[in-house]
Amino acid sequence: MNKMPLIAPSLMCMDLTKLAEQIEFFDDKVGYYHVDIMDGHFVPNLTLSPFFVSQLKKISTAPMDCHLMVTNPEQYVDMLAEAGAAMFSFHAETVNGKAFRLIEDVRKKGMQVGVVLNPETRLQDVEIYLKHIDKVTLMTVDPGFAGQSFVPEVVDKIRQFREFREQHQLEFQIEIDGSCNKKTFSTLLAAGADVLIVGTSGLFNNHPELSVAWGMMMDDIKVAALEVA
């Protein structure tokens, strides 16, 4: 059987009125919590925050990966380190001229480093610092909003990153953000995905009861893993 991917629930899609209850359910099941932080500038939306991370840290043990959809990610390093984030994932499109300095700063603060690429951003744009990265997140939708349509052109890019990793003997994880669901699981796993971010279409809309929704999702992923084994 093909190796099962890690699962990262997108917390902007959860029912925040049931935060403690849902985190208790997730905590021993997930690879990461995916925490979207948006500034209303890099993307025209506002979601979670460093304060949310600090509150989540009080009730959770699973690592938190913070996805910085912000114009100036360097402004969030200290806040997220103090809040308890495990990984700091910046957008490649925001760090030209400061990527190496940012990566060094994030590591000094005790966090792992991730880089996120919009659908049209190329491997070549981040190749120079990939050896310093713990996780590459490939967006299969435009950033900023849940529930968008899958961009199929990204599948070839997943394969490119997998092949680059093998050729250069690197160890970064390949994570997918956007439209990870029953229709796309097998395609993403076959291309080389290690981590799947699941939101409305892949998890939360499966069923009103979270335990049932999770079971349905895991069944779908197991079927997909068998298909690509």
pLDDT digits (tens, 9 = 90+) for 34-79: 999 999 998 888 889 999 999 999 999 999 999 999 999 999 999 9
Distance of CA 43 to the CA centre of its chain: 16
Q: Which of 36, 39, 134, 194 is catalytic?
A: 36
Whether residue 220 lies in the annotated active site:
no
pLDDT digits (tens, 9 = 90+) for 187-222: 999 999 999 999 999 999 999 999 999 999 999 999
189 is a domain residue? yes
Average pLDDT across the chain, whole number? 94
Counting the structural domains of the chain, the total is 1
Whether residue 134 lies in the annotated active site:
no
pLDDT recorded at residue 188: 97
In this prediction the pTM is 0.94
Size of the chain in residues: 229
Which domain covers residue 88, as residue numbers? 6-228
pLDDT over 60 at 2, yes or no: no
Q: CA triplet 178, 183, 186: central angle to 5 degrees? A: 90
Q: Which of 39, 65, 134, 177 is catalytic?
A: 177
Give me the CATH number covering residue 219. Answer: 3.20.20.70
- Strand, coil or helix: 141: coil
1 is a domain residue? no
pLDDT recorded at residue 60: 96
pLDDT recorded at residue 1: 40
In contact, 106 and 73? CB cutoff 8 Å: no
216 is a domain residue? yes
pLDDT digits (tens, 9 = 90+) for 95-147: 999 999 999 999 999 999 999 999 999 999 999 999 999 999 999 998 766 65
Distances in Å between the alpha carbon of 227 and those of 41, 92, 133? 41, 33, 30
